[in-house]
Amino acid sequence: MRNRLLLVDGNAVLHRAYYALPDWRNRSGEATAGVYGFLSMLLKANDELEPTHLAVVFDCPEPTFRHTMYVGYQVTREKDRQVSEDIWGQVEKLKVVFEKMGVPVFAVPGFEADDVIGTLSLQAINPKPQVTSRSHTPHRLPPKLGGREEGGIGNNEVVIITGDRDLMQLVNKQVKLYMPQKGLSDGIIIDEQKVIEKLGVNPDQVVDYKALVGDSSDNYPGVTGVGPRGAIDLISNYTNFENIYENLENIKETVRKKLADGYEGGRLSRGLAKIRTDVPVSLEWERAQIPSQEKILDVLKELGYKSLIKRIGGEDQVDDNQQKLFE
């Protein structure tokens, strides 16, 4: 049996849900729409993708190693205090929801959710031991759940729900993205060919692309003067960032000067863009099994989400007079 692990980029999905729905609040004035929207999107993805396992990954509010690498990292991100409080408040609510459902939730201080997702994805598809740089603890998939017992890549699949293009670098034959396109619906699968169509480079060249063009949303520079078209041409001709700089003498003078002047910015950007796969976490397959419909229904009833209960075939037995989980 092939296992399909659904990894949810929690903050990315929550942000999308937060802005897609009206500003619902409970009696205490706390935002709750994101919780409803998050679960609605997850139920839809579960129907479409039919995963066997599920895990949710959140960012932590503390700075990460990238902020240590570059003081300007993400300083242009939205700083609205109310939005920040609403988002982090709903992260904590979702953690409670998934604890009740028995779904594992990961959040590792010092790392972004992207790095945790990258690490879990690698563990899911690779049955060989993975040693982290911090704990030096091997992570091995049980042979009965993983792929071939001796070396090589197993038969597991990973689908990552996200709206973040940075995660395209993780895409391969066994790892795909599921990216919502409009609000909370119309998700599309991003495979290797789709990455090429959208960015003009292969998944394993996304980091090199970002090194050249930078990222305005995360506020790192890239190589000044090199845009998307120029980056695609350079990568097409020279494969990767390092090889581009090893062949500067073969590149026309105007571009060569930009590359020479922007080397430090490009090297820094590559380090910031690259997703880590050595975060000290372990994927426990038994814990990550999809919860039963009965367990999901119990939690939805506690939340009072009648429409979601009906969507998955449950009877509307919510007591309107009963205090709801987050009222």
Q: Is residue 127 part of a domain?
A: yes
Q: Are residues 252 and 293 in the same domain?
A: no
Sign of CA dihedral 198, 114, 37, 99: positive
**Do 142 and 285 touch, CB atoms closer than 8 A?**
yes
Q: Are residues 294 and 184 in the same domain?
A: yes
Q: Are residues 167 and 19 in the same domain?
A: yes
Quote the number of domains for the chain. 2
- For residue 114, the domain's CATH number is 3.40.50.1010
Q: Are residues 112 and 188 in the same domain?
A: yes
Global pTM value:
0.87
Q: Are residues 57 and 136 in the same domain?
A: yes
Q: Are residues 127 and 48 in the same domain?
A: yes
Task: Kindly state the tokens that stand for 324.
Answer: 């709801």
pLDDT score recorded for residue 88: 87
Q: Are residues 65 and 146 in the same domain?
A: yes
* Tens of pLDDT, residue by residue, the chain (327 residues): 689 999 999 999 998 888 888 888 877 778 888 899 999 999 999 999 999 999 999 999 899 999 999 888 888 766 655 667 788 889 999 999 999 999 999 999 999 999 999 999 999 998 555 444 333 333 333 333 333 333 334 689 999 999 999 999 999 999 999 998 876 667 899 999 999 999 999 999 999 999 999 998 888 999 999 999 999 999 999 999 999 999 999 999 999 999 999 999 999 999 999 999 999 999 999 999 999 999 999 999 999 899 999 998 877 565 555 556 665
Q: Are residues 262 and 164 in the same domain?
A: no
Closest CA to 180 of 67, 41, 78, 318: 41
pLDDT score recorded for residue 84: 79
Q: Are residues 180 and 42 in the same domain?
A: yes
Rg (C-alpha) for the chain, rounded Å, is: 21
Q: Is residue 94 part of a domain?
A: yes
* Crossing angle for the helix pair 81-101 and 33-49, to the nearest 10 degrees: 50
Q: Is residue 243 part of a domain?
A: yes
Domain ends where: 224, 250, 273?
273
pLDDT score recorded for residue 142: 33
Q: Is residue 77 part of a domain?
A: yes
**Domain boundaries, position 58:** 4-195+276-311
Whole-angstrom distance, CA of residue 169 vs CA of residue 72: 23
Q: Is residue 319 part of a domain?
A: no
Q: Is residue 317 part of a domain?
A: no
**Do 93 and 101 touch, CB atoms closer than 8 A?**
no
Q: Are residues 175 and 285 in the same domain?
A: yes
pLDDT score recorded for residue 79: 61
DSSP state of 2: -
How many C-beta atoms lie closer than 10 Å to residue 127's C-beta? 23
Q: Is residue 42 part of a domain?
A: yes
Q: Is residue 88 part of a domain?
A: yes
